[in-house]
Structure 1
Amino acid sequence: MLGVVNGFAAIGAVIALGALLAHVRLVDLQAQVLLSRLAFFVASPALMTLTIGRADVHEVLSPNLIASAAAVLVTGAAYLALARALWHRETPELVIGTLSSTYVNAGNLGIPIAAYVLGDAALVAPTLLMQLLVMQPLAITILDRTTRGTSPGLLRTLRQMVTNPLTTGSLIGLLLSVTGWTLPPFVTDPVQLVANMAVPSMLLAYGIALRLGPGFGAGGTKAEVACTSMLKLVVQPAVAWTVAHLVLGVDGTALLAIVVTSALPTAQNIFVHATRFGRGEVLARDTILLTTMGSVPVILLAALVLG
C-alpha cells in the first residue's frame, strides 16, 4: 500500500508541476500540445516496445485480456440499455457514450500508473491493444457511417490501426517477447533514452491541460454524465474483478493490475473523436473530467483492498 501511495505521490507531484508551470505562464497550451505529441508519437511507442519486449506476455495477456474485455462488454451494454431507454440517443451519441463509459486512459495515465504504481508498464498492454486494435477502429467506422454516410473501408481501417504509433510500438514489443529476440545495445540505448521521456512528458502535459483547459460545463444531461461516470469508475472495475478473481482465479498483483487498469478514467481522445464528428462533445468532456477526479480514490481503494 505504501508503494502505491508513493507512486501516486510521484505522479501527482509531476502533474502539479505542469499545472504550476502553466499558472506562472512559463508554458502554455502550445507546450501541452508539443509534450503530448512527443509522448504519443515518439516516447510512448519506444516505452511500449521495450517494456512489452522484456515482459512475459503469455502471463500478462491471457487473464488480463479476458477480464478487461468482459468488463468493457458488460459496462458498454449497460450504458446502451440505459441510454436507449431513458434518453433515446441516436447512434452517434450512443457510440460516444459507450466509449465514455468504457474506454480507459491507458496511454496518458495508464502507462505511468502501471510503471510507478504497479511496477510494470507492460501490465497496461492488453487493454491498450484491445482499445487501439478493436474498440477505436470499430467506433470510428460506425461514426463515419452514421454521421457522414461514408465508411473508411477495410484497407483504410487496417492502415489506421497499424500506423498508430502506440499500436506499432506495442506490436514490435509483442514480436520481441514472443520470439525471444533482443535488440543490440546500439539500438536499445537510444530507444531507452527516448522511452524515459514518455511518463514525465505525459504528466506535465496533463498538468498543463488541467490548469489551462476548459472546466466542467453546464451543458448536456447531468444524469447521463453521472451514469457514464458511475459505470466507468464502479461497474467496469467491479466486473473486471469478478471475472478475473471469481472466474479465472487471478489474485495478488495480477488481480490488482486488472482492477486498476479498468478503473482508469475515460481517455481524453474520446473528446477528440466527439469533436471531430460533432456528436456528444459535452458528454465526453464532462465524463472525462469527473472520472479523472474520481479515479484516484477508486484506485487507492483497490490498492488498499487488493494490494
Structure 2
Amino acid sequence: MTGVFEGFATIAILIGLGILLAHLKVIDDAGRRTLATLALFVASPALLITVLEDTDLGGVFSGNLVAMSAGVLASALPVVLVARWRRRGLGDTVITAMAASYQNAGNLGLPIAAYVLGDASLVAPVLLLQMLLLQPLALTLLDADRAGERISVGKVLKRPFTNPITIATLIGLGLTITGIRLPGVIHDPLELVGGMAVPSMLIAYGVALRLGPLPGRGVPPRVLAAVTALKMVVQPTAAYVVGRFLLDLDTPALLAVTVLSALPAAQNVYVISARYDRATLLARDAVFVSTLASVPVILLITALVA
C-alpha cells in the first residue's frame, strides 16, 4: 500500500509541477501542445515498444481484457438503452456512451500503470480494445450520423493503424510473438526516449488544468452526474465483479483491471465531439468531472482491493 501512495504522490508532484510552470508562464498553451505531441507521437510509442517487447503475451490477451471489456459494456449499454427509449440522435448517443466508458488510457493510464501498479504493460489490453475496436466503431457511427457523407470501408479499416500508440503496441506485440530482440543500438535510444513519456504527459496535463477553462453551464446536472457515475462507479464495479467472481483473477490482476477501469473519460472524447459537433458540452464536462473524481476513486479501490 505504501508503494501505491508513493506512486500517486509521484504523479501528483509532476502534475503540480505542470500547474506551477503554467502559473509562472514558463510553459504556455503552445508549449503544452508541444509536450503533448512529443509524448503522443514519439515518447509513448517508444515506451510501449520497449515495455511490450518483454511482455508475456498471455498477460495481454487474458482475463484482464475480458474483465475490462465487461466494464466498458456495463457502462455504455445503459446509455444506448436510454437513448433508444428517448429517441436520442445517433451522434449524441455515441459521444455520451464514449464519455461513460472510454478511458484515458494514454495520458493517465500509462503513468498509473507504471507508478501505481508497477507495470506499464498492464495498460496494453485497454489500449488495444479502444484503439482497434471502440474508437473505429464510434467514428464509423459518427460518420453515418453526419448528413450527406458516405462511409468509406477502407478509411474505417485504416483508422486504427494511423494512431502511433496503436502502431507501437502492435510492433511491441509482434516482437513478443516472434521472439525477436531489438539490437542494443535501437533498443537503448528507444528506452531513453521512452523515459520522457510519463513526465511529459503529466506535466502537460498539469499545464492544461491551469490554463484550461472550467466547466460551464448548459449540461443538466442529473445527466452529467449519471454519465460520471457510469464511468467512475459502474465501469470499475463491473470489471471487479467479472474479474473476481467469473474469472477468479488473483489480487494483482484484479487490482489492475479495477483501477484501470476507473480511469477518467479520455480527453479525445471531447476532441471527437467537437469535430462532429455532437454533445460537446457534455463531453467536456464529463472529462473534467471524472478526472477530478478519479483520484479518490482509485485510492479507494486500491485500499479495498489491495
Which TM bucket (shorter chain)? over 0.9
Given the two structures, how large is their TM-score scaled by the length of structure 1? 0.97
Q: Which residue identity lines up with residue 136 of structure 2 in the other structure?
A: P
Separation of aligned partners in 1, 2:103 and 2:289 = 13
Q: Alpha-carbon deviation of 1:167?
A: 0.3
CA distance in 2, matches of 1:113, 1:216: 25
The CA RMSD over aligned residues, in Å, is 1.1
Partner of 1:170: 169
TM superposition shift of 1:84: 4.0
Distance (whole Å) between structure 1 residues aligned to residue 42 and residue 157 of structure 2: 21
Partner of 1:155: 154
Aligned pairs, number? 306
Please give the secondary structure, in 2, of the residue aligned with 1:54: coil
How far does the alpha carbon of each residue in 1:210-235 deviate from its partner, in whole angstroms, 9 at most, with x for none?
Answer: 00001011112221111110000000
Instruction: List per-residue Cα deviations over 1:246-285 (Å, max 9, x = no partner).
Output: 0000021111000011000000000000000011110000
Tell me the equivalent position of 2:75: 75
Structure 1's consecutive aligned runs of 4 or more residues displaced over 4 angstroms after TM superposition are: none
Which sections of structure 2, spanning at least 5 residues, go unmatched?
A: none
Instruction: Return the alpha-carbon distance in structure 1 between the equivalents of residues 16 and 139 of structure 2.
Output: 33
Q: Work out whether 1:25 is the aligned partner of 2:25.
A: yes
Q: Which residue number corresponds to residue 109 of structure 2?
A: 110
Indicate how the Cα distance of structure 1 residues 208 and 259 shifts in structure 2: closer, same or farther if over 3 A, else same: same
Deviations 1:12-56 (A, max 9, x none): 000000011001111111111111111111111111111111111
The equivalent residue for 1:301 is 300
1:59 shift after superposition: 2.5
1:241 aligns with 2:233: no
Aligned twin of 2:143: 144
Secondary structure in structure 2 of the residue aligned to 1:183: coil
Identical residues among aligned pairs (%): 48
Distance 1:33 1:150 in 2: 30
Displacement of 1:120 in angstroms is 0.5
Residue identity opposite 1:122 in structure 2: S
Q: Say whether 1:64 aligns with 2:64.
A: yes
**Equivalent residue runs for 1:1-307 within 5 Å:** 1-85=1-85, 88-307=87-306
Structure 1 CA distance for aligned equivalents of residues 64 and 211 of structure 2? 36
Given that residues 141 and 151 in structure 1 are in contact (C-alpha distance below 8 angstroms), is that contact kept between their aligned partners in structure 2?
no
5+ long unaligned stretches in structure 1: none
> By how many angstroms is 1:173 displaced?
0.6
- Tell me whether 74-83 or 88-97 shows the greater mean CA deviation: 74-83
